[in-house]
Structure 1
Amino acid sequence: MSELTSTLLAGAIALAVVVHLVWLARKSRNRAREALAADTAGIRAVVADAVDVSDGTAGVATWAGTWNGHRVQVRTIVDTLATRKLPARWLTVTVTEPVDVPGTFDMMMRPGSATTFSNFDHLGHTLPKTAGFPVEAVQRTDRKGVAFPQDVIAGHLDIFSEGRAKELLVTPKGVRIVWLLAEAERARYGVFRQAAFGDTKLDPALIERLLQSASTLRDAINERKRQAA
């Protein structure tokens, strides 16, 4: 094979590789757009006026709107921290309305490593174990010595019995529940280090359940405070 032929062949191979990479990138972008559109449709089935308010953070998509007259936020987060065995995709649902509590109350199920969706690790005070809470739960706050209506909270934790609810956050600004949507496909992540979650979609029924749970808890806390006043 002549030197010219070898050069032309090498150039053709390089061009083919570039074209293939461009095709893969375009395919990936198209899939991402389709997935985002599907997520938006799923959310708007529950939060009709939901608007994408994402700030561009990689792996994070955020929608805000109103549900049953309450301001709410729905967010998906891809957690690829090296401390996790497998990357995870989380769903956070928040009722962003005032709650009559004296500070931050954070309940995390099975805390064992840092997270990208929570400030739980930065809260300085661990609350004592309380009757009615899951045995795997740890409760923390940002204010030492304050009292939270833990008996009320304990009566609204049914959703945590299913094993996928990860965190309950109650602050003066709202109530949030974090739910594990999916873990990455083990084979693909093990070989290619790609965080692929298959056909995981946002289920409107799940979003409705989480919003209802957060809203009911908020109402119960505020009602207890009104009765005590």
Structure 2
Amino acid sequence: MSEVTSVLIAGAIALALVLHLAWLARTSRDRASAVLAVEQASIRAVIADAADVSDGTAGIITWEGSWNGRRVQVRTIVDTLATRKLPARWLSVSIIEQVAIPATFDMMMRPGSPTTFSNFDHLEHTLPKALGFPAEAVLRTDHRGARLPQNIIACHLEVFSEGRAKELLIAPKGVRIVWLLAEAQRARYGVFRQAEFGGATLDPALIERLLNSASALRDAINRAERRVA
């Protein structure tokens, strides 16, 4: 084989590789766009005026809108922290309305490692648990001695009985519930270090359920505060 022929073959192989990589990148972008469109439709089935307000942070997509006359936020978060055994995809659902609570209350289930979606690890004070809280829950606040309505909160934890709800955050500006949508496929992540979640997408019924749970808890806290006042 002549030197010229060898150069031509090597060039052809290099070109084919470049074209293949470009095709893979384009296919990945198209798939991501299709998934985003499906998830936006799922969110708008519950929050008709939901708008994508994402700030460009990798792995985080944020929608905001109104639901039952209340400002709400829905966010999906891909957590690839090295401290996790497998990357996880979380769903964060928030009611962004005033809550009659004097400090931040944060309940985290099985807080074994840091997360990308919460400041739980930065809250200074761990709270003793009232009756009715899950055994795996740890409670924290940013204000020692604040009067927090644990008795009311304990009556609104049904969604935490299934093992997929991860965090309940209550602050003066709103209520948030974080739910585990999926963990990455172990085989693919182990070999290729790619976080694939098996096509797990948003379920409108789940979004509605979490909004209802967060809203009912906020209403119960505010009603109790009005009675005391």
1:120 aligns with 2:120: yes
Q: Which amino acid aligns with 1:163?
A: G
Aligned residues: 229
Deviation sequence 1:23-80 (CA, Å, 0-9, x none): 0000000011011111100000000000000000000000000000000000000000
**Inter-partner Cα distance in structure 2 for 1:43 and 1:210:** 12
Offset, 1:130: 1.7
| Structure 1 residue 88 corresponds to structure 2 residue 93 | no
Q: What is the deviation of 1:147?
A: 1.1
Residue 144 of structure 2 corresponds to which residue in structure 1? 144
Within a 5 Å distance, the mapping from 1:36-115 to structure 2 comes to: 36-115=36-115
- Structure 1: distance between partners of 2:135 and 2:54: 35
Partner of 1:22: 22
How far does the alpha carbon of each residue in 1:161-220 deviate from its partner, in whole angstroms, 9 at most, with x for none?
010000000000000000000000011000000000111110000000000000000000
Paired amino acid for 2:89: R
1:201 — aligned with what?
Answer: 201
| Matched AA of 1:209 | R
The alignment yields a C-alpha RMSD, in angstroms, of: 0.4
Distance in 2, matches of 1:33 and 1:142, equals: 39
1:129 shift after superposition? 2.2
State the one-letter code of the partner of 1:39.
E
2:162 aligns with 162
1:192 counterpart residue number: 192
Aligned counterparts of 1:37 and 1:58: Cα–Cα separation in 2: 18
Partner of 1:133: 133
CA distance in 2, matches of 1:94, 1:179: 11
Secondary structure, counterpart of 1:175 in structure 2: strand
1: CA distance between counterparts of 2:112 and 2:129?
A: 17
How far apart, in 1, do the equivalents of 2:38 and 2:201 lie? Answer: 7
Distance 1:129 1:228 in 2: 22
Partner of 1:178: 178
Q: What's the CA shift string for 1:96-131, capped at 9, x where partnerless?
A: 000000010000000000000000000000001221
- Give the alignment's TM-score, normalised by structure 1: 0.99
TM-score, length basis structure 2:
0.99
Residue in 1 that maps onto 2:7? 7
- Three-state SS of the structure 1 residue aligned to 2:58 is coil
CA distance in structure 2 between the aligned counterparts of 1:126 and 1:64, rounded to whole angstroms? 31
Amino acid at match of 1:37: A
Alignment-mate amino acid for residue 44 of structure 1:
R
- Secondary structure of the structure 1 residue equivalent to 2:191: helix
- The alignment-based identity, stated in percent, is 74
